[in-house]
Chains A and B, each alone.
Chain A
Amino acid sequence: MTAVATRVRGTLGRFSPSRAARALGIPGVAAAALIAVVLTVTLLAPVLAPYDPDQPDLFNSLAGSSAAHPLGGDALGRDVLSRLMWGARTTLSGPVLIICLSTVVGTALAVTAAWAGGKVDAVVSRLLDVLFAVPGIVFALITVAVLGPGVTGVVLGLAVAYTPYVARVVRSAALRERNMPYVAAAWVQGRSAFAICVRHLLPNLRPIIVAQSVSALGFAVIDLAAISFLGLGVQPPTADWGLMVKSGLDSATRGQPLEALGAGLLIVLVVAAVIVLGDRLGKEGDQR
């Protein structure tokens, strides 16, 4: 337990909240705070949400703001506030999954390429270039065409699409790190290439990997919401911000703009916060 704690502290220098706050700056702290609030509400949705998000209530259909329903109801009379709270779960868990997958695959590819060099590096780099050339939405459309509409297909497609975003940056950092003397020192100690990559390279690459993944997470939120908006991602009646923007557009023309506004605003805020945080983390990584 203490060993783990030491290791975690080690990668950030000695971790302390005030030091982290100073490193992130005011925008970074604000972004982190916003993300923390959103995550808390997301996790506590079953407790905090005043209504069942999927329960239609015809008396509340397209209703405006009221004491019982602060953000009114959607076309079927479901409580918009509750749907926003629950919708955060699908809206955010998808991108997190996408980024986890693409970070693991991207980092593995990048470190392998940087370590092996030569032909392996050339093949991996060209592969990444090809992936880069195809927009993420197109990948998602391909997987959706194969697997049918739904979150699974979209997540897989976007995970492939985001792999090069992580891999390119990590590869160049790994190339630099690979030529550091401490790697040569571990090498002459008779450590295997795998051990050096996992135990020496990865801890040193961690700040860059984290910064890059967090930035990519912001874009993944937009992409997934866009695909849900197009009707290929999350399927109704599940609450999702992207879907709510779409159905909210209908409601807006009928006098209830709060659904589309709320969902749209949340997407913008969360994406902005995530990207600012990623940027700050990247700057901190550079300074080390």
Chain B
Amino acid sequence: MSLLKRERDQPEESQAEKGLSGGSLLDLRGLGLAVPAGRDWRPLVEEVDLSIGRGEAVGLVGESGSGKSMTARTILGLTPPGARVTGDIVFDGIRVTGMERRALRGLRARRIAMVFQDPRAHINPVRSIGDFLTEAMIANLGVPAPEARARAVRLLSDVGIADGERRMRQYPHELSGGLLQRVMIASVLAVEPDLVLADEPTTALDVTTQSEVMAILDELRRERGMAMLLITHDLELAAATCDRLAVMYAGRIVETQAAGALTATPRHPYTSGLMLSRPSIDQVVHRLPVIPGRPLAAFEADDGCAFAPRCAHARPYCADGRPAVVELEGARVACTRAGELTLQGES
């Protein structure tokens, strides 16, 4: 009897586990984030489905206020006060949503790390670079202090800072923004996480240092087999560094495709609009094509497709309910007309 019972239970269990992990490192399922606004909830992120495989780089692209940063921060539990998280976050087969504080801390300490947009604000101004780099190694990984310092110097040289010994003794205000962002990247590499969440890592930097810093981050990440979720509003940058791209609009993902395919054959009118409104160095245009109107936040959207009011291809029925996500030749698109439209991609 008991034997029978076990036999019956086992497949169910393993199936459930498999279902949870699904072979990917991070799985966001119907992720939603809402903040209280008076008596109501004001949604910032809605029904985000996204998965990242081991060692894979996924770009999350969108305009300001589209909820891309919030999505990344929610993964680490860095939500605004009083916020409500719905849906599931599954990391390496373990549900992160509703996870015990201690376990969540362990996850942050060793497995998921974050590179922030503004390194100057995110590094304690009164502690030295050496302290900043070694703190996590000593406290989270139990590395002895002298070894942690030696490792930190090596990491600094990995990110292109040659005189690491001197830099370790300096304070954040003595370093430029580009150098500080490299320091931040080094601190992320120090704990060798499985997943790096890079939240606009180059936005606050000079244009000339942007590409350098991005290249360093991407190269070192690949070497170490870390997966990356790159949050950016720079579609070109994301396409160049990521394997797959997800485009967000008004708190939802409107399109997910492999990076090359997305730029060549965008499936969502919004993606196509983004591609067309970029300046090109090959052509002289006097006025860039723009997407009319202004971007919406999730809570401003009506019942229908949030992009419909700005969409050149909108039909009256676009206002009836949120468009369902459809699979289309390897792309996942949230547009009712996705199948019938042929949209212009990279020019």
**Chain A contact residues, CB within 8 Å of chain B:** 6-7, 10-11, 180-182, 184-192, 195, 199-200, 203-204, 206
Contact = CB atoms under 8 A, between A and B. Distances in A.
B140 A189 contact: yes
Given A6-B169, A182-B125, A189-B140, 17 more contacts: A7-B128, A10-B171, A180-B121, A181-B116, A182-B122, A184-B122, A186-B124, A188-B112, A188-B113, A189-B108, A189-B109, A189-B191, A190-B107, A191-B135, A191-B139, A203-B124, A203-B126
Given A190-B110, A203-B127, A182 B121 contact: yes
29 contacts: A6-B128, A6-B169, A7-B131, A10-B127, A11-B126, A181-B116, A181-B118, A182-B123, A182-B125, A186-B135, A187-B78, A187-B108, A188-B76, A188-B113, A188-B114, A189-B113, A189-B135, A189-B140, A189-B187, A190-B107, A190-B140, A191-B109, A191-B140, A199-B135, A200-B127, A203-B127, A204-B124, A204-B125, A204-B126
A7 B135 CA distance: 14
Nearest to B197: A188
A180 B126 CA distance: 13
B106 interface: yes
Contacts of A192: 105
Contacts of B191: 189
B126 A190 contact: no
A190 B105 contact: yes
A195 B139 contact: yes
Given A6-B169, A10-B171, A181-B121, A188 B78 contact: yes
A185 B114 contact: yes
Nearest to B190: A189
B136 interface: yes
Contacts of A180: 121
Nearest to A186: B124
A287 to B, nearest CB: 14
Contacts of A204: 124-126
Contacts of B108: 187-190
A191 B101 CA distance: 12
A185 B128 contact: no
Contacts of A182: 121-125
Interface in B29-71: none
Interface in B114-152: 114, 116, 118, 121-128, 131, 135-136, 139-140
The 7 closest A-B pairs by CB, nearest first: A190-B109, A190-B108, A181-B121, A185-B122, A182-B124, A181-B122, A203-B126
A190 B106 contact: yes
Contacts of A11: 126
B123 A185 contact: yes
A192 B106 CA distance: 10
Contacts of A190: 105-110, 136, 140
Contacts of A10: 126-128, 171
A189 B127 contact: no
Nearest to B112: A188
Nearest to B75: A188
A192 B76 CA distance: 14
A200 B105 contact: no
B74 to A, nearest CB: 12
Nearest to B140: A190
Interface in B140-174: 140, 169, 171
Interface in B227-257: none
A182 B128 CA distance: 13
A206 B113 CA distance: 29
Interface in B175-209: 187, 191
A185 B116 contact: yes
A195 B169 CA distance: 21
Nearest to A190: B109
Most chain B Cβ neighbours within 10 Å, of A181, A182, A206: A182
B262 to A, nearest CB: 29
A199 B114 CA distance: 20
A180 to B, nearest CB: 7
Contacts of A7: 128, 131
Contacts of B140: 189-191
Contacts of A184: 78, 122
Most chain B Cβ neighbours within 10 Å, of A184, A185, A187, A188: A188
A186 B76 CA distance: 12
